[in-house]
A and B are shown apart, each in its own frame.
Chain A
């Protein structure tokens, strides 16, 4: 009895040490977990992140093992989910919505060995890295198309929250359109939500009712696009390719492409050198794009878009002067550009955007 137990222990310890040796060579897969704000679904913000996760899994195969939790509210629940994922042995946790910022920081403090990546936030820590995509670049390109396609000279924007990330997309869209037609104006409706198809639809209907005939949105559903198709006007897909939802109305999709970045950060972690640098990438870094451009768009417009895209990929900054504010005053002088910090705290509209930015007194 005693002997057999001893033997068992000996065998077990051999097995363990062999296992450890094996681990040094083949290594356990890198455990990565994603926290999503919406449903994985078939389009939009969370869908784009999940495409990124899948692309990374495909690229790295058995070197990584991923899991995700969807529909995590940005309330007290987020911290529990993130903490739970950290205790379950994930070495990389990606929290993919702004509202997870403080929860991520709190959990990161108690798990110094876990690397956290938080999308779109502005607070980092030694093990919390921020990443974001310069969606204003494809928004600018979409604006160029809108400028060509609009007959009424009025564009519409279904906006979520008056935060810099959204305001600069409205600005870029308007600037893109005015670069080809200086009479264009943009109307904005705020829906105070990231995802609510019925509200987005109402907002789109209101904009169309006021004469807007090319719409863009900074919300997650395809409702704006579908409403545009129902009413016979044009719109764009946002976050993911939404052409299939409304092939007639769809002019192009401004999409996020996270796969490359996710693969890079997983590779770095596998090599033992986790990425710690804040990443704010755009077309140049392959983090977003304008895709699936509709053939109804005239050749000339498509050429301009392609040329601008190449310029942006070559380092051109969209917010380069001269840029006028709503009252016609010079906000950015000719030859000057907004710094990243200024882009990240913009709280004014460019010339051509109608209405008052909420929260501005």
Chain B
């Protein structure tokens, strides 16, 4: 029998670390072509509708950036945490609390605080995300509780907290008992780029919150590549024994990783409630915190690759809508693509640590 077998590499392959995500994307695209053909569509036309058409207008581009921005922001935080081997799965909940903190300020003080409103909300949102992440960090550092479980569970707690607030104390009295807060005033909203004189974005929803993301990308890179704390985190993650020997405290790595990823998620929360939504309601569960996990993984936890991965994931959402509107294909096709991407990525990962070798036939093998 001629076949192949996996052989562990002596060291992880540098080349494959770069190739694996690209290979995953390529395989996803190929599988997509097959999928479209199976659905009875002209694959190339459907492909065009899915991946190209959404980007053919300024509005499409701005929607892509609007969707990618929170994914990127959260993905950056998660990339830093995951490098330190701290598995924060609850960015979604940290994002909710960021949104809650910002909303709390907005609905109580938007009449009084004028131009200070939005900056205060940004700070409050980051603090909210950090606070929620701190609960997980504390449980892990103090009790060695699994941060995966604690952060995931706290997401549901955060969601229930939002429900309590919008059904109760923060409900808009004019809303016919519907679970939502009052709409934010202009000083509690990110200004649209179009309003700031960027004519190209006229009529689009892209707002200034994207600047936070654009600033976060180099900051995350500098932190992870050029600072001592970033180095400590990376060592704690990849070689815990060495980190302990060098005197780095594990709990310190946990705290830094959780707080940074929490802050990023909280900021994403602000950019949502003070951006396209403009209020808090109980149905705000965009799942960005979970999708960003795929983003971080796809970027192999490299801060400079996170934006690319975020754009790709955002495009999968827009493409799904596009093929539904134009070709009446089911929208779940977006989720199929996300799943395919993750599956191919995990499959390709194997080749970083293993290589394929032609299996020598059993008879000859015995004779050696």
Contact = CB atoms under 8 A, between A and B. Distances in A.
- Chains A and B are bound partners: yes
A108 interface: no
Contacts of B282: 192
A124 to B, nearest CB: 14
A167 B177 CA distance: 10
A71 B332 contact: yes
Contacts of B324: 68-70
Nearest to B64: A80
Contacts of B83: none
A163 interface: yes
A359 B163 contact: no
B12 interface: no
B163 A75 contact: no
Contacts of B325: 33, 67, 69, 84-85, 88
Contact of B177 (A79, A80, A163): A163
A344 B176 contact: yes
Nearest to B57: A87
Contacts of A205: none
B331 interface: yes
A347 interface: yes
B252 interface: no
A99 interface: yes
Interface residues of B, number: 38
Contact of B321 (A84, A99, A164, A167): A84
A164 B275 CA distance: 29
A347 B177 contact: yes
Nearest to B324: A69
A161 B321 CA distance: 28
B281 A80 contact: no
A76 interface: yes
B167 A358 contact: yes
A102 B59 contact: no
Contacts of B283: 73-75, 99
A110 interface: yes
Contact of A71 (B163, B286, B331): B331
Contacts of B177: 161-164, 167, 347, 359
Interface in A60-99: 67-71, 73-77, 79-81, 83-85, 87-88, 98-99
A100 to B, nearest CB: 11
Given A67-B325, A87-B59, A99 B276 contact: no
Given A33-B325, A67-B328, A161 B176 contact: no
Given A33-B325, A88-B325, A102 B286 contact: no
A292 to B, nearest CB: 29
A98 B275 contact: no
B205 interface: yes
State which size class the interface on A falls in: 35 or more
A98 B281 CA distance: 12
Interface string A319-339: 000000000000000000000
A76 B176 contact: no
B203 interface: yes
Interface in B12-65: 57, 59, 63
B284 A75 contact: yes
Contacts of A317: none
Nearest to A80: B63
A93 to B, nearest CB: 11
Scoring A75, A76, A161, A347 by chain B CB atoms within 10 A of each residue's CB, the highest score goes to A76
Contacts of A102: 183, 278-279
Contacts of B149: none
B285 A75 contact: yes
A82 to B, nearest CB: 11
A71 B317 CA distance: 12
A98 B183 CA distance: 16
Scoring A79, A80, A99 by chain B CB atoms within 10 A of each residue's CB, the highest score goes to A80
Contacts of B284: 75
Contacts of A347: 177
B330 interface: yes
A13 interface: no
Contacts of A77: 286, 317
Nearest to B317: A77
Contacts of A84: 59, 63, 321-322, 325
B178 A70 contact: no
A88 B179 CA distance: 32
A122 to B, nearest CB: 6
A314 to B, nearest CB: 29
Given A122-B176, A359-B177, A70 B330 contact: yes
Contacts of B276: 76, 79
A161 B179 contact: yes
Interface in A19-78: 33, 67-71, 73-77
B178 A75 contact: no
A131 B128 CA distance: 40
Scoring A67, A71, A192 by chain B CB atoms within 10 A of each residue's CB, the highest score goes to A71
Contacts of B246: none
A345 interface: yes
B292 to A, nearest CB: 16
Interface in B268-305: 272, 275-279, 281-286
A164 B176 contact: yes
A316 to B, nearest CB: 25
B168 interface: yes
Contacts of A164: 176-177
B167 A359 contact: yes
A76 B286 CA distance: 8
B103 interface: no
Contacts of A122: 176
B313 to A, nearest CB: 14
B171 interface: yes
Given A76-B277, A87-B59, A163 B176 contact: yes
Interface string B103-141: 000000000000000000000000000000000000000
A355 to B, nearest CB: 15
8 contacts: A70-B331, A71-B332, A76-B66, A76-B277, A84-B322, A161-B178, A163-B178, A359-B177
Give 8 nearest A-B pairs by CB, closest first.
Answer: A76-B276, A74-B283, A163-B177, A80-B63, A71-B331, A76-B277, A69-B324, A75-B284
Given A83-B205, A88-B325, A163-B176, 7 more contacts: A69-B321, A84-B321, A102-B278, A122-B176, A163-B177, A358-B167, A359-B171
